[in-house]
């Protein structure tokens, strides 16, 4: 029997889509947990990031934090939380929030840090106080970077949530884990495709949102908020590829 056919048969079975453990319900649970995790991470990371960026420091600390969380396996954090008595979705939200903090933090710090010093000077020169400089000058200029950070963090959380199925969290990952448990590989494949599709769709949607929230004056800037001019070589113009500092690279969801 062909696994692919089996997967499509699974996906075509309406019974797999309805009910409390159907694809629809699981997808909603998946998105809910992800949104909670991103909100929690944003509540922690954005104020700190904005403050650090406003004061013009914290770049190094951000990289250190990002690298440490990279080495810590999600599975470790999930099992640690689950074993401490936090089962299911609470553990998932907490664990995913931890991994969403670095991109949000570095988005805020880098975004504010890259605001032109002359612009900041001018704002001070026309008599703006520190907090007003932050809210009406630095923050709008940092929107592309902030949005990029939130997008990276959100997609990462969506990709991490499925792992929580291993410790009892409900999400689209449950389909995969259950399939492995019962050795139905058609279901495993179907679940894998659903999870991948969710992440790709979310990535696409958030890219559009990022474009929309960027002030028109800044739209000429690239995805990473860097001006298109002044790059090192002609062919990197198409896409900015700054991977030298680990904090810039996106994360795999381990």
- Can residue 229 be called a binding residue for other proteins (CB under 8 A)? no
Interaction residues for other proteins, span 144-163 (CB under 8 A):
155, 158-160, 162-163
CB of 130 or CB of 181, closer to other proteins: 181
- Can residue 203 be called a binding residue for other proteins (CB under 8 A)? yes
Burial class of residue 116 in the structure, from the number of CB atoms within 10 Å of its CB (0-12 exposed, 13-18 middle, 19+ buried): exposed
CB of 7 or CB of 134, closer to other proteins: 7
CB of 50 or CB of 167, closer to other proteins: 167
- Can residue 64 be called a binding residue for other proteins (CB under 8 A)? no
From the CB of 74, what's the least distance to other proteins, in Å? Answer: 7
Distances (CA, A) of 6 to 2, 185, 190: 6, 8, 9
For the record, the structure tokens of 108 come out as 């805020």
Residue with tokens 């991977």, as numbered in its chain: 243
CA distance 154 to 142: 18
**Treating both helix axes as pointing N-terminal to C-terminal, what angle do 88-113 and 23-55 enclose, rounded to 10 degrees?**
40
CB of 124 or CB of 223, closer to other proteins: 223
- Can residue 31 be called a binding residue for other proteins (CB under 8 A)? no
DSSP state of 137: I
From the CB of 130, what's the least distance to other proteins, in Å? Answer: 35
Cα distance between the two ends of the chain = 32
From the CB of 202, what's the least distance to other proteins, in Å? Answer: 9
CA distance 4 to 185: 9
Alpha carbons within 13 angstroms on the beta-carbon side of residue 10 total 22
Question: Residues 41, 47: contact at Cβ < 8 Å?
Answer: no
From the CB of 112, what's the least distance to other proteins, in Å? Answer: 25
- Can residue 94 be called a binding residue for other proteins (CB under 8 A)? no
Q: Which residues lie near other proteins (CB under 8 A)?
A: 3, 7, 67, 70-76, 79-80, 82-83, 155, 158-160, 162-163, 165-167, 173, 176-177, 179-180, 185-186, 188-189, 191-193, 195-196, 199-200, 203, 232-236, 238-239, 241-244, 246, 249-254
């Amino acid at each position: 029997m062909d696994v692919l056919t089996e997967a499509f048969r699974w996906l075509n079975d309406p019974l797999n889509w309805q009910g409390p453990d159907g694809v629809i319900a699981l997808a909603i649970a998946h998105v809910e947990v992800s949104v909670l995790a991103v909100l929690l991470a944003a509540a922690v990371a954005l104020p700190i990031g904005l403050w650090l960026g406003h004061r013009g420091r914290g770049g190094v600390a951000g990289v250190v934090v990002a690298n440490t969380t990279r080495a810590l396996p999600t599975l470790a954090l999930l099992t640690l939380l689950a074993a401490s008595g936090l089962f299911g979705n609470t553990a998932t939200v907490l664990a995913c929030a931890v991994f969403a903090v670095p991109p949000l933090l570095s988005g805020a710090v880098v975004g504010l840090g890259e605001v032109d010093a002359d612009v900041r000077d001018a704002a001070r020169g026309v008599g703006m106080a520190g907090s007003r400089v932050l809210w009406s000058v630095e923050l709008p200029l940092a929107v592309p970077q902030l949005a990029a950070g939130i997008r990276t963090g959100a997609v990462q959380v969506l990709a991490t949530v499925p792992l929580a199925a291993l410790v009892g969290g409900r999400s689209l990952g449950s389909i995969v884990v259950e399939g492995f448990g019962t050795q139905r590989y058609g279901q495993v494949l179907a679940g894998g495709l659903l999870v991948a599709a969710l992440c790709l769709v979310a990535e696409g949607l958030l890219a559009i949102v990022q474009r929309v929230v960027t002030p028109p004056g800044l739209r000429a800037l690239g995805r990473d908020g860097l001006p298109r001019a002044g790059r090192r070589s002609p062919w990197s113009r198409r896409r900015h590829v700054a991977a030298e500092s680990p904090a810039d690279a996106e994360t795999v969801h381990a």
